[in-house]
Amino acid sequence: MAAHILGEPGPAQRRAVAKAITLVESTRADHRAQADALLTQLLPHTGRSFRLGISGVPGVGKSTFIEALGLFLIAQGHRVAVLAVDPSSTVSGGSILGDKTRMEQLSVHERAYIRPSPSAGNLGGVAEKTREALLLCEAAGHDVVIVETVGVGQSETAVAGMTDMFVLMQLPNAGDDLQAIKKGVMELADLVLINKVDIDADAATRAQAQITSALRLFTQHGRGQPGEAVWRPQVLTLSALQGQGLQAFWDTVASFRASQEASGRLQSRRRQQSLAWMWERIESGLRHEFREQPAVRALLPQLSEAVAAGRLPASTAARQLLAARHTPLSQEPGPAAG
Amino acid sequence: MAAHILGEPGPAQRRAVAKAITLVESTRADHRAQADALLTQLLPHTGRSFRLGISGVPGVGKSTFIEALGLFLIAQGHRVAVLAVDPSSTVSGGSILGDKTRMEQLSVHERAYIRPSPSAGNLGGVAEKTREALLLCEAAGHDVVIVETVGVGQSETAVAGMTDMFVLMQLPNAGDDLQAIKKGVMELADLVLINKVDIDADAATRAQAQITSALRLFTQHGRGQPGEAVWRPQVLTLSALQGQGLQAFWDTVASFRASQEASGRLQSRRRQQSLAWMWERIESGLRHEFREQPAVRALLPQLSEAVAAGRLPASTAARQLLAARHTPLSQEPGPAAG
């Protein structure tokens, strides 16, 4: 890893990374310009980590698992970063990863870097800042970046859209899997991990069989290209609390990574993710800009009301609002003209 | 129904409706302006039908069912319109409802109006034109409008988003239901209809029990507001071929409609649908306009390539493209300046 603006690993680099992440999380325009320049400069030093997404409902044992996995990976010589995507953190005042005591040993380890979820107000903003933090951690030489999310809302899709492998953690309960299937999360999973096998090994085995057969059904209906060696999502059991199953888990991750790299899928997934991210930000910017236009601000309340009340066709209202931006506002009655 | 521009029911009105639908389906700007004026004029005469969405995979028996239901409703004094949303119709040259022989008796009935899917190229365009055709059919006095779609892609969401009740047709197969759950379609369903009960009554009963318990799980996790009389999605069996189960189906539809009207849900669902439709069209317009901007057309290919290749952060590219629209193009090298 070449020396660059973030410096060599150590306390000074840790402070530089924290400062850089704070910079990309800022909403000030001058900070944003600096952040763009920094990211562009660091981009050649990114992309060399393995990006692992981990999701699961509260109580599934994500922190315990990530701490155990992080320490396991550090013992093998890796440098681990842990980030989080939690759009609810603005409301709750920072939930996942906010409490440093959740990963007591990992959070103080010099070869680990842990950052709570940014509280940027909406999922798009939170996801963007986490993507940028991920790049900064890579530039600092972390070779495994874990992005954690809770199993609520659309945050799983966001995390699956910024990682190389998406792992869904499940409890050994029947019904739990149906919720994941229903919400479309199961379909995102490259690996399903049934935690807390120590509590009820029989239930875990039953859940493993159930989820395996459910996943088989999805895989039949096309994932990957024809002729390509298709990765069949695995279902593993594990006890994060007892540290049991970590080696098998990491072996499976390594085998996934090798197959994705060999087939070129890893590279094409990252390309697609970057382009999707660009368009997501463009559309978010267009929506914001639209709502801020004086003509739109003037017309939107009454047109929305007319549409909701059934007095104006929705498509007509949309066309009127789009057209209104290009006509001067001076004809509109307003305090200045009235 | 007051007499208006579409005239009284009869062959002349049928021609007027067909002509009006052709107008709203046109992409010519002058036609679009006429269509907007026509829709605005007719809007007070719309909204009095019950809007029924019907979805199911090819082979589930949608045409047979809709023909049987349509004739059943006409015998009770209703006037029925059948529309379709099929984004694949551009590719296939018109699939569902394109072949008039599919509903032989209904298609020639004077109290029915059948219109195949518009072939507008993408789901957004197809859905918009179908929504507008629905309003025209209502203005012509059709009091039941059925919108059919095939179980592919996101067309179910579009149809559920323009109807008062969404019915999912299923075959009496195990596994079929899991596909629907997986794709999130089951969650949209107000009613699940298991067709072809004549072929295997036992399998149909098993499927009914399975789907009922799956639906119960969804309903637990919130549909409707607290304190509101919640509609619990029903699962019915039916043989469209033998015309068996139609009365029970229509009784259930009537009971759904009554409960939704009593709770105000029908009205609020339509309000939300109209506003969602407006925003969908606005965002589609913004995207289109963005892509057509000269500065964007000039920069997009190289910036996309830089993002995909990992040379430029996606968020930076997005900001550059958004900003480029507001700066004059004259600095760009081009054939005129070169």
At B145-190, the pLDDT tens digits run 999 998 666 888 899 999 999 999 988 875 556 666 656 677 788 9
Residue B322 to residue A47, Cβ atoms within 8 A:
no
Residue A86 confidence (pLDDT): 83
Question: In this structure, what token pair is assigned to residue B141?
Answer: 């006095």
Q: Which of B275, B310, B322 sits opposite A282 (nearest CB)?
A: B322
> Higher model confidence: residue A11 or residue A173?
A11
Nearest CA in chain A to B320: A282
Distance between CA A125 and CA A284 in Å, rounded?
Answer: 9
B282, B291, B299, B319: best to mutate for the A interface, most A CBs within 10 A: B282
Q: Smallest Cβ distance to B277: which of A187, A221, A314?
A: A314
- Residue that has been written with the tokens 């030093």 in this structure: A45
pLDDT given for residue A144 in this prediction: 98
- Nearest in space to A102 (alpha carbons), one of A137, A143, A148: A148
Taking each continuous run of H as one helix and of E as one strand, the counts in chain A are 13, 7
Across residues A147-157, what is the average pLDDT? 82
What token pair was written down for B8?
């009284």
Residue A45 contacts by C-beta under 8 Å, 6 or more apart in sequence?
A: A1, A2, A4, A138, A139
The residue type found at B76 is Q
- Tell me whether residues B36 and A307 touch, CB distance under 8 A: no
What is the reported pLDDT for B222?
A: 41
The answer to whether A239 touches A197, Cβ cutoff 8 Å, is yes
Q: Which of B39, B271, B290 sits opposite A316 (nearest CB)?
A: B39
Chain B: give the shortest CA distance to residue A132, in Å: 8
Average pLDDT over residues A245-254: 96
Mutation site for A-interface testing, chosen from B135, B269, B278, B326 by largest number of A Cβ within 10 Å: B278
Strands A191-194 vs A165-170: parallel, antiparallel or unpaired:
parallel
Q: Across the interface, which of A36, A179, A283 has its CB nearest the CB of B283?
A: A283
A282 band by pLDDT with thresholds 50, 70 and 90: very high
Q: Which of A161-175, A274-288, B14-28 has the lowest mean pLDDT?
A: A161-175
CB contact at 8 A, A139 and A4:
yes
Distance from CA of residue A82 to its chain's centroid?
12
Tell me which DSSP letter residue B216 carries.
H
Query: What is the per-residue pLDDT across A72-87, written as a single tens digit (0 to 9) for each?
Result: 999 999 999 999 998 7
Of B214, B287, B310, the CB nearest to A43: B310
Q: What is the mean pLDDT of residues A58-64?
A: 88
Measure B274 CA to nearest chain A CA, in Å.
6
Asked if A274 lies within 8 A of B310 by C-beta distance, the reply is: yes
The answer on pLDDT for A223 being more than 60 is no
Cross-chain CB nearest to A274 (options B46, B187, B314): B314
Average pLDDT, chain B: 85
- Could B275 and A132 be called an inter-chain contact, meaning their C-beta atoms sit closer than 8 Å? no
Residue A51 pairs with which residues in a beta bridge? Answer: A145
pLDDT greater at residue B24 or residue A125 = B24
Residue B325: the pLDDT is: 87
Predicted confidence band of residue A122 (pLDDT cuts 50, 70, 90) = confident
List of residues 6+ apart from A327 with CB closer than 8 A? A295
Cβ–Cβ of B274/A131 closer than 8 Å? no
Say which residue, B41 or B225, is predicted with more confidence. Answer: B41
Instruction: Report the pLDDT value the prediction gives residue A57, as an integer from 0 to 100.
Output: 82
| DSSP string across B237-277 | E-BTTTTBTHHHHHHHHHHHHHHHHHHTHHHHHHHHHHHHH
* B290-316 residue pLDDT tens: 999 999 999 999 999 999 998 899 989
Task: Judge: B318–A46 Cβ closer than 8 Å, yes or no.
Answer: no
- What pLDDT, in 10s, does the model give residues B206-262? 888 888 877 776 654 444 444 455 678 889 999 999 989 999 999 999 999 999 999
Q: Give residue-wise pLDDT tens across range B60-116.
A: 899 999 999 999 999 999 999 999 998 776 555 445 555 555 788 898 899 999 998
**What is the set of domains in chain B, with CATH numbers?**
44-263 (3.40.50.300)
Q: Backbone phi, then psi, for A150, in 5-degree steps?
A: -90, 155
Which ipTM score applies to this complex? 0.81
**Alpha-carbon torsion, ordered B147, B148, B150, B153, to 10 deg:** 0
How high is the pLDDT of residue B221?
Answer: 41
Which among A300-304, B1-5, B197-201 has the top mean pLDDT?
A300-304
Q: Shortest Cα distance from B296 to chain A (angstroms)? A: 11
Which of A46, A181, A318 is the closest to B282 by Cβ?
Answer: A318
Asked if A287's CB is within 8 angstroms of B287's CB, the reply is no
State the pLDDT at residue B232.
Answer: 81
Q: Is B87 helix (H, G, I), strand (E, B) or coil?
A: coil
Residue A174 has pLDDT above 70, yes or no: no
Q: B55: closest CA among B129, B136, B144, B159? A: B159
Query: What is the rounded CA–CA span in Å between residue A67 and residue A243?
Result: 10
CA B183 to chain A, closest CA, distance in angstroms equals 7
Q: Kindly state the helix (H) or strand (E) to which residue B139 belongs, with its residue range.
A: helix B123-139
**Contact (Cβ atoms closer than 8 angstroms) between residue B318 and residue B324:** no
What is the pLDDT at residue B102? 74
Using 50, 70 and 90 to split pLDDT, how confident is the model at B58?
confident
Residue A179 to residue B217, Cβ atoms within 8 A: yes
Predicted confidence band at A64 (pLDDT cuts at 50, 70, 90)?
Answer: very high
- Shortest distance between the Cα of A32 and any Cα of chain B, in A, equals 10
CA A183 to chain B, closest CA, distance in angstroms equals 7
The minimum CA-CA distance between B1 and chain A, rounded to whole Å, is 18
User: pTM for the whole thing?
Assistant: 0.77
Bridge partners (DSSP) of residue A146 are: A52, A82
Instruction: From chain A, pick out residues whose CB is under 8 angstroms from the CB of B47.
Output: 310
Does pLDDT of A119 surpass 80? no
Q: Which two tokens stand for residue A123?
A: 């999922």
Is the Cα dihedral A38, A44, A50, A54 positive or negative?
positive
